[in-house]
Amino acid sequence: MLRGLFVTGTDTGVGKTVVASALLHRYRGGLRVCYWKPIQTGIEQDDDTAEAVRLGECQPHEVLEHAVRLPRPLSPHLAAKLCGTSLSVEAVLDPLRSDRRKALWIVEGAGGVLVPINECEMMADMMGSLGWPIVVVARSSLGTINHTLLTLEAVRHRSLWVLGVVMVGDKNPDNREAIERYGRVTVLGEMPFFDPLTPDQVKRWALTELDPDYSLQAGL
């Protein structure tokens, strides 16, 4: 039986790949962990899998490479359409379900919860098909309260389980308190902007500041 965490965000470019890499570092010591990015658009500009391998210091056996890779930094449904193809949740998930590794999978979504995959399916439908606990990555800056609460509401509306939120950016105690209070959720960590963004920086933060109360591990 597959088990894992689904990493989603309040927006594109919010820091999901860095947080996914931190999760790999955080749980590698006690569990076998593997990373997968099912859908990547704009592959000519960004390769989140390669970045997760770098920042998470992944070995080849910790990564599933078979996935959808599309040009143009667009929503998956539009990037696929411009390539003359279409996607479906179940077809996208086939490589994961065919994989025989017994591991805790860290699966990184594309964009946010309501990003369209095709004419009738969204990223939320992929999350629902897996049925795994969800980690939401959010900015710490102005606007994050609304964006984060909307994301939590969309996820819970589909009867999915949010294990916690990771905030990225300069610490903002007021925003953190509002997200925890109104969102009825735990902030698992506050990740700073790393400069330089190196594996050592991500690992050091993950091992000292990410999920210090083992909330995630207890929920798996």
**Tell me: the pLDDT tens digits for 164-179?**
999 999 999 999 999 9
The per-residue pLDDT for 206 is: 97
Residue 159 has pLDDT above 70, yes or no: yes
171 labelled catalytic: no
pTM score, whole prediction:
0.95
- Extract the runs of DSSP E, i.e. beta strands, from the chain: 3-9, 33-36, 39-41, 68-70, 104-112, 134-139, 162-168, 187-191
pLDDT mean across residues, the chain: 95
The per-residue pLDDT for 158 is: 94
Residue 144 has pLDDT above 90, yes or no: yes
**SS3 assignment, position 112:** strand
Instruction: Give residue 220's pLDDT band: very low, low, confident or very high (50, 70, 90).
Output: low
The per-residue pLDDT for 127 is: 97
Q: Give 107's strand partners.
A: 6, 36
- Given 37, 81, 171, 203, the catalytic residue: 37
The per-residue pLDDT for 218 is: 63
CA-based max dimension of the chain: 47
Q: What tens digit of pLDDT does each residue of 80-123 get?
A: 999 999 999 999 999 999 998 899 999 999 999 999 999 999 99
The per-residue pLDDT for 100 is: 86
Residue 216 contacts residue 188 (beta carbons within 8 Å): yes
Q: Give 105's strand partners.
A: 4, 34
Domains of the chain with bracketed CATH:
3-219 (3.40.50.300)
Position of tokens 């399916």? Answer: 121
Residue 219 has pLDDT above 70, yes or no: no
d(CA 22, CA 162) in angstroms, rounded, equals 18
Query: Which range has the worst mean pLDDT, 5-9, 29-33, 208-212?
Result: 29-33
